[in-house]
Amino acid sequence: MAALQVKPTRMELSNLKKKRQVAVRGHKLMKDKRDEMVRRFIIYIRRNRMLREQVEQKLSLAMSEFVIARASMSHASIEEALSYPARPATVHASTRNVLSIKMPELTLEESAGFEYPYGFATTSAELDAAVQAFAELLPMLIELAEVEKICNRLADEIEKTRRRVNALEYVMIPQFEEAIRMITMKLDENERGNLTRLMKTKEMLAQKS
């Protein structure tokens, strides 16, 4: 660890003590922020795992229904039935500040109710089940995308904050403390030297008189 290049003066000593105080306060604030981000990260990770398991389970069931529907219907009939969406939907993307971090926020806007976009004369019940299952999956997929992005943002910010905390704890604060110690020793040494010279001067003056 390279030592700070400082002048051994009382002004420099006072400035270093102020800088050390700011660094110690910043170190505590960053540690508190890191701990809070880790706490929230764990909550989002658990939510992400639960959502992913639910989505994969529902998606598997929906795909099974769709495979059965494809086996009982012609390709042209399926394409014609699925050429229009079951209901219009819009996803609005925005951000919100959490612990000074811009977190993504996805909002799904869709019309109320659910209607099949085709008639029932040429379609199978399995296709109906698959279409409804996919429609129910959409809000969960939007939430899963939002939670995964938040997890990525938090993980990146935790790593950045961890590096800053380590830099303060193991580099900057020890450098300030070492520089303060060196300046204090140098000033004490100068003060002892001045006191010795003063005592010798007094002794010489006393001998002459």
Contact in structure between 55 and 144 (CB atoms under 8 Å): yes
Q: Report pLDDT for 67.
A: 86
Phi, psi of 108 (to 5 degrees): -95, 125
pLDDT in tens, 127-185: 778 878 888 888 899 999 999 999 999 999 999 999 999 999 999 999 999 999 999 98
Task: Count structural domains, the chain.
Answer: 1
Residue 175 lies in a domain: no
Instruction: Output the pTM of the full model.
Output: 0.75
Enter the tokens of residue 119: 């008639």
Residue 136 lies in a domain: yes
Answer positive or negative: Cα dihedral of 21, 27, 30, 31.
negative
Question: Residue 126 is part of which domain span?
Answer: 27-158
- The rounded distance, in Å, linking the Cα atoms of 197 and 209 is 18
Strands (E) in 23-143, as ranges, are: 89-98, 101-110
Residue 49's CATH number: 1.10.287.3240
